[in-house]
């Protein structure tokens, strides 16, 4: 989060900005020889009822609208009376109902304005908290999903007592270290994520040996590029999980990543066998937990800033993803 975002989210800063805004309005609206003092005095009179309304009365807005309206009117009437009494004492003039009703109208407008801002701010904060909670849940679901698939591969090798098992275990250790300790932030430097992809693909190369043609291509300047952690691995993992060989050919996986100005372009394609069993597997990958989580995370983290396309042709399955505004601000 940038310093500007931190300042904007600071409640004291928000309150000071709103009161400054009202002060400027009073400066233009009040016709007085000393506008500055009169405007400050008006804010001093309005601040107590505003904070009483926001802190103690506004919570009843959803719980009980009738109680809210009653308390709102009571708060307005009481502080209008107090304010008018103070003004009469300062200016040494007799009480007048016209002054009371004028200040009552100003008080009502000020409280409605303050209530509207408070409701909007609370609604925004609640949506942000819900978004963060959902992202944490999706990330928590993602790591066990990946670990489950990798352990299945290791189990298969352990059964046949393969010599590749120690190398796979070391690669898995590196992968888990990253997923457990370096993915706590919403965004991470792309280079770290790419290293993670390299390790995973190296692990798959050890497992598959010469049975699959595997290519990882990286182009462009990625300095300053950030991305959501454990996002691209979902598509790469699914490519290997549902890999199949076209008749008469080797199976293949190709991953391309390109940075073009402020746009990250990612594509992943894999061969699939043309038989009913592979078609069933393809339906599984389309509805899998990992892919659903990836789509949800993209919608939450990159709203209107990404384009995801998944295509299936005879013998091939491909994913194309473009993410905009990936450079660090």
Can you tell me which residue has the tokens 């233009």?
28
Q: Of the residues 78, 109, 125, which one is the last residue of a structural domain?
A: 125
Please report which confidence band the pLDDT of residue 280 belongs to, taking 50, 70 and 90 as the band edges.
Answer: very low
Residue 141 has pLDDT above 70, yes or no: no
Average pLDDT, the chain: 78
206 and 111, same domain (yes or no): no
153 within some domain: no
187 and 293, same domain (yes or no): yes
Query: Residue 245 in contact with residue 251, Cβ under 8 Å?
Result: yes
The tokens describing 170, both together, are 């070391």
Alpha helices in the chain (DSSP H): 3-9, 11-29, 35-52, 60-63, 65-91, 97-159, 165-181, 190-208, 233-241, 276-286, 289-301
The tokens describing 315, both together, are 């013998």
173 and 283, same domain (yes or no): yes
Share above pLDDT 90 across residues of the chain, in percent, rounded to a whole number: 15
320 and 173, same domain (yes or no): yes
180 and 301, same domain (yes or no): yes
24 and 173, same domain (yes or no): no
Q: Of the residues 125, 147, 180, which one is the last residue of a structural domain?
A: 125
> pLDDT per residue over 206-231, tens digit each?
777 777 889 999 999 998 899 988 88
329 within some domain: no
Mean pLDDT of 143-170: 70
105 and 204, same domain (yes or no): no
SS3 per-residue string spanning 258-280 = EEECCEEEEEEEEECCCCHHHHH
**For the domain that residue 275 is a member of, what is the CATH number?**
3.30.565.10
173 and 291, same domain (yes or no): yes
Query: Residue 283 in contact with residue 315, Cβ under 8 Å?
Result: no
273 and 198, same domain (yes or no): yes
Mean pLDDT of 137-161: 64
158 within some domain: no
204 and 85, same domain (yes or no): no
Q: Give the model's pLDDT for residue 238.
A: 83
59 within some domain: yes
Cα(25)–Cα(192) distance, integer angstroms? 51
Task: Note down the domain range covering 9.
Answer: 3-125
Which has more pLDDT, 151 or 235?
Answer: 235
Q: What Cα–Cα distance (Å) separates residue 167 from each residue in 54, 145, 199?
A: 61, 22, 11
135 within some domain: no
103 and 183, same domain (yes or no): no
Which has more pLDDT, 314 or 94?
Answer: 314
Altogether, the residues listed in the chain come to a count of 329
142 within some domain: no
316 within some domain: yes
Q: Give the model's pLDDT for residue 93.
A: 64
Cα(8)–Cα(6) distance, integer angstroms? 5
Q: Of the residues 69, 104, 125, which one is the last residue of a structural domain?
A: 125
186 and 311, same domain (yes or no): yes
Number of domains into which the chain is organized: 2
155 within some domain: no
């Amino acid at each position: 989060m940038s310093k500007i975002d931190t300042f904007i989210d600071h409640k004291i800063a928000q309150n000071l900005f709103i009161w400054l805004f009202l002060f400027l309005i009073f400066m233009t609206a009040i016709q007085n020889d000393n506008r500055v003092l009169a405007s400050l005095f008006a804010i001093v009179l309005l601040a107590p009822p505003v904070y009483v309304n926001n802190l103690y009365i506004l919570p009843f807005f959803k719980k009980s609208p009738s109680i809210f309206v009653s308390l709102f009117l009571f708060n307005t009437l009481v502080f209008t009376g107090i304010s008018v009494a103070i003004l009469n004492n300062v200016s040494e003039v007799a009480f007048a109902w016209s002054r009371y009703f004028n200040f009552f109208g100003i008080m009502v407008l000020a409280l409605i304005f303050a209530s509207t801002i408070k409701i909007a701010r609370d609604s925004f904060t609640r949506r942000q908290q819900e978004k963060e909670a959902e992202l944490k849940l999706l990330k928590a679901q993602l790591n066990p999903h990946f670990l489950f698939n990798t352990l299945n591969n290791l189990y298969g090798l352990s059964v046949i007592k393969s010599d590749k098992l120690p190398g796979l275990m070391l690669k898995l250790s590196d992968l888990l270290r990253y997923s457990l300790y370096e993915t706590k932030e919403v965004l991470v430097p792309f280079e770290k994520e790419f290293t993670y992809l390299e390790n995973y693909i190296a692990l798959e190369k050890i497992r598959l040996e010469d049975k699959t043609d595997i290519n990882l291509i990286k182009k462009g300047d990625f300095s300053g590029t950030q991305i959501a952690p454990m996002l691209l691995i979902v598509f790469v993992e699914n490519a290997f999980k549902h890999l199949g060989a076209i008749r008469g050919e080797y199976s293949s996986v190709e991953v391309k990543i390109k940075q073009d100005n402020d746009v990250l372009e990612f594509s992943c394609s894999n061969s699939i066998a043309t038989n009913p069993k592979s078609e069933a597997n393809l339906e599984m990958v389309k509805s899998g937990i990992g892919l659903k989580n990836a789509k949800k995370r993209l919608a939450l983290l990159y709203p209107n800033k990404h384009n995801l396309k998944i295509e299936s042709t005879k013998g091939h399955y491909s994913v194309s993803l473009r993410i905009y505004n990936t450079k660090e601000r």
